[in-house]
A and B are shown apart, each in its own frame.
Chain A
């Protein structure tokens, strides 16, 4: 009943290893290789472009972060610009790149560029694997991927040039939105077609999450697009915006990330999910409650009070999916945590799920009105954003890319040192950025709530509320960015087929080594 495609494909016990089983296993291995081969083109396009946007977003994030503590700064060596006589070109460009333009460009590149593209790439591969259907016309997916990329490029460039819709995380120009939507239709409909022709009779829990993500995203995106162009009464646009943001993080990124974690963790440790009943409860409560927690973002604002109250109640009820998901992941991993030392996929993915639990728990915590009065209007919200995108989602995606890419290109990752450095930089860089956003937010909150706090420097560039910012820029973003540079280089080598010979996966540590 609870058997998964993975456990049937690779039984642990050797007692029933009869002749017929071996043959079936061989057929399945060939079948999997064929499915992988059909997904190769589009999935690699998704990954490559996603990693490009990851690098773009890290650079923009660094600039945005630095602009807050030194608003006049100019990126790069000024003496070089002087030497090349391009100072008169470079300076005006950087003058235009104020925080108000770079920050939305950064979040757009990160959410729609890196996160969404990587997520769709992993999802494409996962759907192929889970439904056991090979992709018939990969060119359609490729086309969708490039359309989506064009949308992100238009969005980032227009925002940097000074276009903004005024809706947070939905800032992009209408042309960019159209590109994203058309691109999505090519990708998303393909996913649903694969699901329709699935050959796996019992859907794996990951499939539910992917179905939810792929089905809900166009509804949220399209509804927001339609509503934002309608003449609604004043604050309704803010309500729609908060609702969209919530759907984007909980039901688009959240569902894809959870689907990936639910696939990878059991797969790597070669053991089924701890409890399918828990997974089922977690899934339904997540998608029903996840759509109702939106309005804590507008707490205290000029919106009907019951909206905020309803969202606070839903946020508190979110304890149910969070607890079931966390228990399920931890219990599945129980006794296998040692594998994290050697498997990069498991290390990234499991740390990602830990970030997920922290992010979700903090959402519950800061929905409480007494906490919210200290965290509202501060960088705490940015901490939550980075917990979801940089902590949870990116970590899980890295794990998936480490798992999937060797199966597509036909060789293994070249260097375990690169992987270790990547993990180190990502975990500590993202951790630093998130922690400083959160604690900086709390510090600001205490000053903000103190009406005589002017002397404590709420407004000042080097005041108490701002003192943490250089650390975030110079340690957080530099560590994180350096790690992503190594990762991008490593991925490039893989695409050039420079790596270890196929067969044995590259591990962080050979089992038995060390201790």
Chain B
């Protein structure tokens, strides 16, 4: 039979092997990761830095409500699944994309669509020469007549208040507690989601921050290690 010293040495050895292989080696590899910087010739400052450090407001709301239990934030290579064909991104996401996130909300379940590039937009020049920002196409509830083309703050407020007002059969829960019931003043609020003539539901600060966060999600900037795979499609008018 084994001596206790051998037993505990063995058990500790198992832990050390596990920690070393699964945590320390990848850490030594990832710790030196830097943002991608592009210097134009003769320039004093880089013309393009990705990802940029930014103060992300509203991420805490996303975490507190546990959005990441149903929504992932990672786009995989086409060999793993048709993530890009669904309009969830133009390239696979890599470690560099999450450089400045405290806990990247990669998620483990897809009960709803991926949100890695929820705020993905492009600027298009219209016929009269003015520029317009257009949301990219996504496949969720494609044939739903209720589905609006533009994903903006109002879209998010409506969806938070009652997801089934945007998608007929959505299984996303309603977040009524993100809205305040207010008496309509002189003019109805621009962001009010529902009104019955006398009262209106106005998004609270939480809802505004969450909307800011969701619209800031865009990881389509091209990277050396992850070139663009699929050309983007614009949302249907």
Q: Which residues of A contact B (CB under 8 A)?
A: 67-69, 71-72, 92, 95-96, 98-101, 103-104, 162-168, 195, 202-203, 208, 211-212, 215-216, 219-220, 223, 227-228, 232-243, 246-247, 280, 284, 287-288, 290-292, 294-295, 297-304, 307, 310-311, 373, 376-379, 381-382, 444, 448-451, 454-455, 457, 459-463, 466
Contacts and interface: CB of A to CB of B under 8 A. Distances in A.
A379 B109 contact: yes
Nearest to A99: B173
A204 to B, nearest CB: 9
A100 B66 contact: yes
25 contacts: A69-B171, A72-B174, A95-B175, A98-B175, A99-B69, A100-B66, A101-B65, A203-B1, A232-B27, A234-B97, A247-B18, A280-B2, A291-B22, A292-B21, A300-B74, A301-B76, A302-B74, A307-B22, A377-B81, A377-B107, A381-B109, A451-B85, A451-B86, A454-B140, A459-B170
A242 B21 CA distance: 13
A96 B65 CA distance: 9
Given A381-B109, A454-B141, A162 B26 contact: no
A450 B11 CA distance: 45
Interface in B161-201: 163, 167-177
Interface of A is mostly: helix
Given A302-B98, A451-B82, A216 B15 contact: yes
A386 B74 CA distance: 25
A461 B23 contact: no
A243 B96 CA distance: 20
A237 B31 CA distance: 12
Given A72-B174, A236-B30, A459-B169, 14 more contacts: A166-B68, A166-B103, A237-B104, A238-B104, A239-B22, A242-B22, A300-B80, A303-B26, A373-B80, A377-B108, A455-B143, A459-B140, A460-B170, A461-B171
A470 B161 CA distance: 24
Contacts of B105: 166
A240 B23 contact: yes
Contacts of A247: 18
B128 interface: no
Contacts of B99: 233-234
A219 to B, nearest CB: 5
A451 B139 contact: yes
A164 B77 CA distance: 29
Interface residues of B, number: 79
A100 B68 CA distance: 8
A451 B113 CA distance: 12
Contact of B167 (A216, A233, A459): A459
A439 to B, nearest CB: 16
B14 to A, nearest CB: 4
A472 to B, nearest CB: 14
A295 B18 CA distance: 11
Contacts of B19: 223, 243, 291
